[in-house]
Structure 1
């Protein structure tokens, strides 16, 4: 009985050790790959958005009343279900 118990503890120690080593290697390899990718393939610079002319901005600002009415109707219909 004592021999079986010690073999179980040995098997548990080897199993847990293997999992610990595997997960440690996985973290190291993943972080190394992340550094390599960010170094050699950087994210592209964000594109700048061109400003709209003042006339178009004024027209869009005037439609807020209609937009609020549509949104209010949609919320009212959703809540009435």
Structure 2
């Protein structure tokens, strides 16, 4: 009696794990396929025109670098290990 219950439990566990494995494998393939299908039919994003973007003044870049450097320096001082 005990032996048949153990065998039945192991068989049920094997079927359950096999079903989950097969389901997850099918799910991975379906998700990959849908991703490739969506990438094929989705239009490419429009590229901005280079002429519409004006270059920043040279002084503004230097000021920005100073501000960023100061912020990084202060962050590192406060968050030392």
Report the TM-score range of the alignment, normalised by the length of the smaller protein: 0.5 to 0.7
Extract unaligned runs of 5+ from structure 2.
none
Measure how far apart 1:63 and its partner are.
2.9
CA change 1:34–1:3 in 2 (3 A) is same
Partner of 2:67: 67
Identify the residue that residue 14 of structure 1 maps to in structure 2: 15
- The CA deviation at 1:66 is 5.9
Partner residue in 1 for 2:41 = 40
**In the aligned structure 2, how far is the partner of 1:12 from the partner of 1:65?**
62
TM-score between both structures, scaled by the size of structure 1 = 0.67
Computing the radius of gyration from Cα coordinates, the structure with the larger value is 1
**Cα RMSD (Å):** 2.9
When normalised by structure 2's length, the TM-score is: 0.67
Q: Which runs of 5+ in 1 are unaligned?
A: none
